[in-house]
């Protein structure tokens, strides 16, 4: 039950895009076409799960014992960037179909704040390994969900009469705001779920 609450919280209530406002550049950038959005979403889930685990381990076994907590941000960025690069090499050689599907999105994620955000949140909330893994996957699933929903809406904009000054990014940001407000409706679900226990 604890994990169910964690998953629902991460996907719907504290959605990384719509409630935490992290990772907005790919949210606006790759939400023009459904196939791109799905590819991006999958790549994000894959990377965040890996990066979350690695950064968690580094925090627990290197930064904490050495008392270097203040280096967290810079170390995480370095580690994530190296990891993404490594994963790209690995996929290209060993899993070409997956590389074809995710390949072009991986470099996009290298310095994505959603990845760093979840890695940092994992530490701040003091999750154990399993909680960290569940939260990482659920958080990135929330990212993909929001991205795909947004793409569905933006594809419709293609054939819609939008006032000229609002065309493009402007209307997308307004839409993102409205979506965030809609997601606000989920707040309280976690409390209710906890109360059920």
Partner 1 sequence: MLTTTLFLLGLGFGSAVMLAIASKVFYVWEDPKVAVVEETLLGANCGGCGYPGCSAAAAALVAGKAGANVCVAGGYEVALKIAAIMGQEVELKEPEIAYSSCRYNLVEADTRFIYSGVHDCRAAALYGGGPKECPIGCIGMGTCYRACPFGAISMSDYGLPVFDRKKCRSCGICVEVCPKDIIYLSSTTTRMTGDFRTDECTTPCQRACPSGINIPAYIRQISMGNYEEAIRIIKERCPLPLIVGRICPAPCEMDCRRTLVDQSVGINSLKRFVADYEMESGKRIYPFRAPENDKRVAVIGGGAQGLSAAYYLACLGHKPTIFESAGRLGGILRYVIPESRLPEKVVDWEIEGVLAAGAEAKTGKTIGKDFTINSLLRDGYGAVAFATGGIDSRQIMHGRGDVVQSIPGIYTLIDFLTVFSRQENFRTGGTVYIFGGGNSTLEAARICSGKGGKKITIIYPFKKQDMVSRGIKVDAAGREGIQFLFETVICGISGTGEELTGLSLIKEDCSVEEVAADTLIAATGRISDLIFVRPGNEDSRPDAWTTLASYAMNPDNRYDDIFNLNENGVFNDNLAVIRSIAKGRRMVRALHLFLNGKELEPQINQIKKWMKILNTKNIRGVNTNKRNIMQSNLTAASYCDPDVLFNSMEIGSGFSEGAATQEAGRCLDCGLVCYKKSAS
> In whole angstroms, how close is the CB of 9 to partner 1 at the nearest point?
32
Between CA 145 and CA 175 the distance in angstroms is 15
For the chain, helix (H) and strand (E) counts, in that order, are 11, 0
Contact pick of 4, 25, 57, 71 for partner 1 (by CB under 8 A): 71
For partner 1, which is the closer residue by CB, 38 or 75? 75
DSSP annotation of 33 reads S
User: Segment near partner 1 (CB under 8 A), from 16-24, 68-76, 170-178, 189-197?
Assistant: 68-76
Between CA 146 and CA 21 the distance in angstroms is 11
Distance of CA 99 to the CA centre of its chain: 19
Contact pick of 25, 34, 78, 182 for partner 1 (by CB under 8 A): 78
Does residue 35 touch partner 1 according to CB under 8 A? no
Among the listed residues 13, 175, 173, 28, the one whose alpha carbon sits nearest the alpha carbon of residue 112: 28
User: Segment near partner 1 (CB under 8 A), from 12-20, 21-29, 76-84, 112-120?
Assistant: 76-84
For partner 1, which is the closer residue by CB, 130 or 166? 166
Between CA 54 and CA 149 the distance in angstroms is 30
Does residue 164 touch partner 1 according to CB under 8 A? no
User: Segment near partner 1 (CB under 8 A), from 24-32, 49-57, 88-96, 177-185?
Assistant: 88-96
Phi, psi at residue 103, to the nearest 5°?
-45, -55
DSSP annotation of 62 reads I
Work out the number of other CB atoms within 10 angstroms of the CB of residue 165: 8
Contact pick of 1, 97, 161, 196 for partner 1 (by CB under 8 A): 161
Contact residues for partner 1, defined by CB under 8 A: 62, 66, 68, 71, 74-75, 78-79, 82, 85-86, 89-90, 92-94, 159-161
């Amino acid at each position: 039950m604890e994990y169910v609450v964690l998953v629902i919280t991460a996907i719907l209530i504290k959605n990384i895009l719509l409630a935490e406002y992290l990772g907005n550049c790919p949210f606006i950038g790759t939400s023009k076409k459904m196939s791109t959005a799905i590819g991006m979403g999958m790549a994000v889930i894959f990377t965040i799960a890996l990066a979350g685990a690695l950064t968690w381990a580094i925090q627990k076994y290197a930064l904490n014992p050495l008392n270097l907590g203040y280096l967290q941000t810079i170390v995480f960025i370095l580690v994530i960037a190296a990891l993404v690069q490594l994963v790209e090499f690995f996929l290209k050689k060993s899993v070409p179909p997956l590389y074809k599907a995710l390949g072009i999105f991986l470099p996009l994620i290298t310095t994505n704040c959603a990845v760093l955000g979840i890695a940092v949140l994992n530490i701040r909330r003091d999750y154990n390994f399993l909680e960290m893994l569940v939260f990482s996957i659920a958080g990135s699933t929330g990212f993909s969900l929001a991205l795909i929903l947004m793409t569905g809406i933006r594809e419709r904009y293609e054939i819609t009469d939008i006032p000229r000054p609002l065309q493009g990014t402007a209307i997308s940001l307004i839409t993102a705001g409205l979506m965030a407000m809609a997601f606000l409706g989920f707040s309280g679900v976690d409390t209710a779920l906890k109360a059920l226990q």
